[in-house]
Structure 1
């Protein structure tokens, strides 16, 4: 215990000798990404650094040394370009693997372009302001990394996901297809032969698209908006460190290079007091409460009518109170035991002892908060890593996954009764909660330490892996195997031709001897 306290104290008080000016970029249209980034940026401000955050979602009640640079609504513009509501837009990613890869990277290009076109960011770029460090979320937006070269400062990446091809490529982190499923597949680390085959093909296709289509498109954006900076392929090699929103209790354990730091759960603080009316609702629910939210990207009011009816029919059969994050003033067909609100303080709400179940889209932010608070899950995945996260929950016994296209009264009624009446789900998630919260130091303190470590050591180049300088052929030793194969074939051919020559020599000599005897 004494050792833990000493290490924790060292991390807390090992601040840099000066107050650094830090530029934080969280330009993703996904609000959940910014919620995570804000937790890190706010902590750095509390430690005395001057933080400037560029984001469509400004931090409410920021510290005095925290400056918001609010962007236009990127999410609204991207969805507007698609001609769909948010749910339809996200569901389009599930129409086959080729469509998924294309739409994912189209999304990355559009969000990067809209960010660089934003007048607020352009004003900052063309001002005389300087910074000591750039921290940028990693989400198919590599062109924004060029701002670190613009300011000639170190660069830290912040991923709201587990290690992915986007982060692995930055630091040369190993990504074995045999045990690391693609972000969009509902596989775990234990894959069958055919799952490994599918995972390998999809992962290779995604990697080829990333290097041959996505990065060249990002480079075109750099040439247009930041032409004075280095080519993007060189900037990607300058990433000092990447934070991951993962942890072995949340996702599969993975091999990580030393400058890839897992801080999953860092944003979950000690629970704060709830609003009086919400506190009363939770306290008075003698049979418990079920919380239902589809996150910040999936809009509940845009669910198909058949889904809404199936959910409400299933909820009406329950004795528990259901709190539904519903983005409208009215919920048609609302049963008496269902209460709605456009917003709930999710992490604090989940900490209440009367919460029995969390129905979620399965995003990493939500699943992390549920595990931290020890609440079992029913997941209805829609997009990105949500199926991956819920597959992990299901195989680990703390949740059930319901396919979005199979949301019926029967499927939801079964899932609700299974999780509510089978104690294994609660027992398993509470065990996971203990693992997640059993840390040497609080993860937010660890994150702050590594930011200041990079500042102190001028980008910490000593942490860089040589893997990032190797292409895929060199890393997989395909060039070596090709050389060995070429040498082996050459030796075999040499042996073959020598043996043939020797055989022909003795055959000719034998024929000559026989002919000589015949003549005699």
Structure 2
């Protein structure tokens, strides 16, 4: 289920202090480096401010990259189960930190009961605009399946808790009452401007760092380009080397035909017939690369972190979604006018050539992405500063004063279905009695 496998990661804050510093336990169980980068942005900044952190992560920082002395990382390869129990054990407030969007069950915890499959679609949907009647029915069915999966996961988690901590351990729903804030690494624009209580804080671009100089060979390569450069990367979870050969051939044919230099983040050791204008590497400094003036377009799988970096750099996008939230993000590219979408299952070389030429030559795409960048950046503080401030606010005061009265109640409670059933039952009984009385009177009149 989403909550345990993909989305939410827990920060727990203890009451032990030394001057203004606190001891903070972070549990970030998502086994994906691109998501861990988001969490590190906050934990490293909290460490700089003097807090002591213990972090559980399946992707510890390499010693060569440097880690503050007041951060202890514990390598935990498997996904951790029920991190909410740590808040109960340490009697500490819990902050949920998402590396991208929220789901309906997590918004339910926070009391943001703005569930509507058309206005606020699940980010697992491959389409959310201009739906046919059948597609709308399918969307509602998907939301129902997600809710059922969440309930089934809760049951399994409750069984696990009882097996590990005894029969008197609180249920998962009870543990959620200790969740006092939710951080989302997304901008409200990308989340359809969902109405949320003050305990939900949007931090889109939390992982964005100040630019650094490019390696000299790469700087020289980019500076020397006269027609411009197209950057191609499918993130850390999609491996181009595992793509179908026909799809790989379509990429190579398109790259060969395009009049631009191509940089491709490719995880394999080799490619057959590499075009002269193509440079492949297993890794590029993507954030800094996108900021170079000669980058004309970004071909991406549509991951949220990559999308944030492209928008911040003002680079138009060609989205080829392949998994998870990528379809949702790429559909947002199209909706906002900052990019185009290609179906990977049907893509030909001509499709890719046309898409790249379109976002480069039609100036509306670059203007739109720069406009969205300016809107997102027009804030009184950076996302990281906001995250640190609210974290320390919870450290100082807790977060219960920010919780909505609807927090952690079920949809049946929110819709007052018990009251509705009583009222409907009363009307049904009254109607039945009225019909029965009418028949009785009619039969009596027949006797006379």
The question of a shared fold, defined as TM-score above 0.5 by the shorter chain, is answered with yes
Native 8 Å contact 2:334 2:340 kept in 1:
yes
Q: Distance in 2 between matches of 1:190 and 1:25?
A: 39
Report the equivalent of 1:30.
32
Report the equivalent of 2:49.
47
Report the equivalent of 2:135.
195
- The structure in which a higher percent of residues are helix is 1
Report the equivalent of 1:408.
348
Report the equivalent of 1:76.
none
Q: 1:469 to 1:426 in 2, by over 3 A?
A: closer
Report the equivalent of 1:321.
261
Q: Distance in 2 between matches of 1:462 and 1:24?
A: 23
Q: Distance in 1 between matches of 2:326 and 2:409?
A: 32
1:485 and 2:413 are equivalent in the alignment: no
> TM (normalized to structure 1)?
0.78
> TM (normalized to structure 2)?
0.90
1:420 and 2:397 are equivalent in the alignment: no
Q: Distance in 2 between matches of 1:426 and 1:16?
A: 49
The equivalent position to 2:240 in structure 1, one of 300, 309, 321, is 300
Report the equivalent of 1:67.
72
Q: 1:25 to 1:475 in 2, by over 3 A?
A: same
TM-superposition CA deviations, 1:394-413 (whole Å, max 9, x none): 12211111112113212212
The equivalent position to 1:378 in structure 2, one of 318, 321, 324, is 318
Report the equivalent of 2:281.
341
Report the equivalent of 2:58.
56
Q: 1:249 to 1:372 in 2, by over 3 A?
A: farther
- Displacement after TM superposition at 1:191 (Å): 4.6
Native 8 Å contact 2:120 2:191 kept in 1:
no
Report the equivalent of 1:81.
none
- Displacement after TM superposition at 1:22 (Å): 0.7
Native 8 Å contact 2:228 2:261 kept in 1:
yes
Report the equivalent of 1:502.
441
- Displacement after TM superposition at 1:220 (Å): 3.2
Native 8 Å contact 1:16 1:456 kept in 2:
no
SS of residue paired to 1:290: strand
Q: Distance in 1 between matches of 2:309 and 2:264?
A: 17
Q: 1:232 to 1:318 in 2, by over 3 A?
A: same
- Displacement after TM superposition at 1:254 (Å): 0.7
Q: Distance in 2 between matches of 1:352 and 1:279?
A: 9
Q: Distance in 2 between matches of 1:484 and 1:238?
A: 34
Q: 1:145 to 1:189 in 2, by over 3 A?
A: farther
Report the equivalent of 2:23.
21
Report the equivalent of 2:295.
355
- Displacement after TM superposition at 1:224 (Å): 4.3
TM-superposition CA deviations, 1:420-475 (whole Å, max 9, x none): 222221111111111111112111111111111111113x2122223234322222
SS of residue paired to 2:182: strand
Which one has the largest radius of gyration? 1
Q: Distance in 1 between matches of 2:418 and 2:145?
A: 21
1:475 and 2:414 are equivalent in the alignment: yes
Report the equivalent of 1:105.
none
1:433-444 mapped onto 2 (5 Å cutoff): 433-444=373-384
SS of residue paired to 1:64: coil
Q: Distance in 2 between matches of 1:17 and 1:166?
A: 38
Q: 1:250 to 1:374 in 2, by over 3 A?
A: farther
Q: Distance in 2 between matches of 1:318 and 1:190?
A: 33
Native 8 Å contact 1:171 1:237 kept in 2:
no
Q: Distance in 2 between matches of 1:409 and 1:429?
A: 25
1:387 and 2:327 are equivalent in the alignment: yes
The equivalent position to 1:248 in structure 2, one of 176, 188, 193, is 188
Native 8 Å contact 2:108 2:410 kept in 1:
no
Native 8 Å contact 1:159 1:245 kept in 2:
yes
Q: 1:189 to 1:304 in 2, by over 3 A?
A: closer
Unaligned runs of 5+ in 1: 1-14, 73-113, 117-140, 512-520
SS of residue paired to 2:25: strand
How many pairs does the alignment contain? Answer: 427
Please provide the CA RMSD for this pair.
Answer: 2.1
Report the equivalent of 1:291.
231
Q: Distance in 1 between matches of 2:337 and 2:100?
A: 22
Native 8 Å contact 2:176 2:408 kept in 1:
no
TM-superposition CA deviations, 1:372-424 (whole Å, max 9, x none): 11111111111110000001111221111111211321221221222222222
Q: Distance in 1 between matches of 2:236 and 2:270?
A: 19
Q: Distance in 1 between matches of 2:382 and 2:44?
A: 15
Native 8 Å contact 2:31 2:79 kept in 1:
no
Native 8 Å contact 1:181 1:189 kept in 2:
no
- Displacement after TM superposition at 1:285 (Å): 1.1
